[in-house]
Amino acid sequence: MSETGKNGKVIRIEVLRYRPEQDREPFLQSYDVPFTDDMSVLQGLQYIKDRLDGTLSFRWSCRMAICGSCGMMIDGEPCLACKTFLRDFPAGAVRVEALAHFPIERDLVIRMDDFLAKLESIKPWIVPKEERTLAQGEYLQTPAQLDVYEQFSSCINCLLCYAACPQYGLNPDFVGPGIMALLHRYNADSRDGAAAERMEVAGSEAGAFNCTAVGYCSEVCPKHVDPANAVNQNKTRAAGDYFLRLVRPKGGAK
């Protein structure tokens, strides 16, 4: 990034700043950043931090849409900064803000404690249906069994779907689209045996029924996961559990 601006292009990046020790509330600060067509918004922010204003804070790591660290609102839409390019803002300006619906820790860094607590609550790992010893070998799975959950396993916890979800915005108790996708990823895995426990979350007052099928979560997902679909499937399953527990009182009933 040593030779930026060779093509003479400059973009004005408006960044939402908030430094809790000195700012009473968040405000927008503008920076003029020279750029080339291959530069992402993340690289624009790095230019600001390296050359213009070292006090700017933002999360990033992999630069290639794998780590899920650089989720932010770019011109009002939840995006990964590394996957969004400065050349796509022909008006010569772009606004970058912290992810919607989350408390701001500092500048573009949000607090994700709420999400992490919810993540723990759904046991996001495979709880073997039946324990096998090393001698018994691997837990085998057919391609058809893999297909059932594979897309949901692509979630990188970037939280874009939470910033997109109007229901999470209105009620942060809702476990949210990402958690529902991950919950479904494990429940739909043929090797897993903890679906009943996870359905306590899906069928709870914080669960799937908070969703009003807006579907924006699935649109903004940078990994093509379909959280809206996971929520829908679990509405059906939770409703089934709700009524079937009366005839078959076991599993997930409280």
Partner 1 sequence: MKAAMKRSNAPIFWGLFGAGGMLAALFGPVLVFITGIAVPLGLILPADAMSWPRMQAFAQHWAGKGFLFAIIALFLWHAAHRICHSLHDLGVHAGAATRLACYGSAALGTLLAAGALWAVGF
Residue 227's SS3 state is: helix
Contact string (CB under 8 A) for partner 1, positions 165-184, x = contact: -x---x--x-----------
Quick one: how far is CA 237 from the chain centroid?
Answer: 23
Interface with partner 1 includes 250 (CB under 8 A)?
no
Interface with partner 1 includes 117 (CB under 8 A)?
yes
For 37, 78, 105, the CA distances from 238, given in Å and listed in that order, are 48, 29, 35
Selected binder of partner 1 within 29, 57, 121, 145 (CB under 8 A): 121
**Interatomic CA distance for residues 8 and 20, integer angstroms:** 36
Size of the site for partner 1 (CB under 8 A): 22
The piece of 27-35, 48-56, 182-190, 199-207 that touches partner 1 (CB under 8 A) is 199-207
Selected binder of partner 1 within 36, 200, 223, 229 (CB under 8 A): 200
Which CB sits closer to partner 1, 155 or 179? 179
Least distance in Å: CB of 10 to partner 1? 40
Residue 76's nearest CA partner among 229, 216, 224 is 216
Looking at the DSSP bridge assignments, the partners of residue 12 are 32, 93
Interface with partner 1 includes 196 (CB under 8 A)?
no
* Contact between 18 and 55 (Cβ < 8 Å): no
Strand (E) or helix (H) holding 11: strand 10-17
Positions in 12-71 near partner 1 (CB under 8 A): none
Write out the two tokens for 149. 């959950």
Integer-rounded Cα radius of gyration of the chain: 21
Selected binder of partner 1 within 42, 94, 100, 206 (CB under 8 A): 206
**Interatomic CA distance for residues 7 and 82, integer angstroms:** 21
Contact string (CB under 8 A) for partner 1, positions 207-246, x = contact: x-x--x----------------------x--xx--xx---
Residue 209's nearest CA partner among 187, 238, 229 is 238
Selected binder of partner 1 within 106, 118, 184, 198 (CB under 8 A): 118
The binding site for partner 1 (CB under 8 A) comprises 117-118, 121, 166, 170, 173, 200-201, 203-207, 209, 212, 235, 238-239, 242-243, 253-254
